[in-house]
Amino acid sequence: KREVAVINMNILVTGGLGFIGSHTTIELIKNNHTVIIADNLINSKIGVLDKIVTITGIKPTFYKIDVTDEAKVEEIFNNHKIDGVIHFAGLKAVGESVSKPLEYYYNNLVSTMVLSKMCVKYGVGKFVFSSSATVYGDQPSPLKEDMELKKTTNPYGETKAMSERILTDTSKANEEFAVSLLRYFNPVGAHESGLIGEDPNGIPNNLMPFVTKVAKGQLEKLNVFGNDYDTIDGTGVRDYIHVVDLAKGHVKAIENLNSGVNIYNLGTGTGTSVLELVNTFIKVNKIDVPYEIVGRRPGDIAICFADVSKAEKELGWKAELTIEDMVRDAWNFEKKNI
Ligand code: WQD
């Protein structure tokens, strides 16, 4: 792959104090970029800013704003020469989106439209979007970027698919506005320092933070949502990717973003079942995780994993960390912080 000469960019990272946003901020700083963070702290903690300083020695400029607020977002574009935007800020609880659809459509779509409008107005030519494998809907894995998208099972997923369309059409109408749509599979794990990691508010919806809280004794047991799927052990299979690998994928995406609409799966290409993940956690961390097999969770699909060849070929990026790394780092963070 031809190495592109990387110039140091000013990157606006929305949701930059969140789980994936904070890990990406660290990797951007390590690659000598300047990061400006906009975050409303609805699902993140201001303390993460100091952790970023501890890890990198750099304090990113921070704006405590809601990125649906056009006037507040415009101030940032007036105060800084922004070279690119990485847009993480958004509501992301699948179940909650079913009970609060308007909140999800408003937050996730208006934020994307406000940021795109400001990029076009201020001539910012690079926009990287936090999308999700959920946009593929229920179709056979491995999932490939050129597949036709199927309707998702929830408003959260729909906001991701709609945001992709808003960005695609805006890029087609403004050739200097290049976009990269990154479809995440299942992000897990934490920075090796254990200083930052996945720290959701309330009872976790996702598997890994639930497992770490059971291991810690904060939750009594894990409910395994069904073991009657057509998979290796009957439990759901997903493509878990270490959050640090995911963060590095964002750096590669924005450094290689020059024109048009670019879509990439960010996964490992390998499927892992719920019980395989739980048993790896128990083995690596030498700690018990009591669980009970219960009924399926509505909306879940049996198997979901990525075809990852396109990101490797075009971005020169490939996930390197293993399931063992993921369960070790997730537990290391949980022990130290929560
Ligand atoms: C993984 C597996 C569950 C919890 C969702 C969104 C996706 C992204 C990641 C936002 C499944 C099983 C889970 C539990 C369980 N969203 N499970 N007991 O559903 O693959 O993806 O989160 O960031 O867009 O769709 O992730 O972690 O909820 O579930 O058995 O308590 O673990 O059935 O097989 P999912 P998950």
Nearest to 16 by CA among 4, 28, 1, 7: 28
Residues belonging to the active site: 156
Q: What is the pLDDT of residues 1-25, one digit of tens each?
A: 456 667 899 999 999 999 999 999 9
Which has more pLDDT, 299 or 175? 175
Say yes or no: CB of residue 92 within 6 Å of ligand 1: yes
Cα separation, 90 vs 104, whole angstroms: 8
Distance (Å, whole) CA 12 – CA 86: 6
Closest-lying ligand 1 atom to the alpha carbon of residue 237: 34
Average pLDDT over every residue of 129-147: 97
pLDDT band, residue 337 (cuts 50/70/90): confident
Of 44, 228, 237, 297, best ligand 1 pocket probe by most atoms within 8 Å of the beta carbon: 297
- Which residue, 245, 246, 199, is CA-closest to 46? 199
pTM here?
Answer: 0.97
ipTM of model over 0.95: yes
Cα separations in angstroms, 270 against 143, 219, 319: 11, 29, 10
CA angle 276–278–279, rounded 5-degree value: 65
HSE-CB of 37 using CA atoms within 13 angstroms: 30
Question: What is the arithmetic mean of pLDDT over 321-325?
Answer: 98
Q: Is 160 in the pocket of ligand 1 (CB under 6 A)?
A: no
Phi and psi torsions of 184, nearest 5°: -80, 150
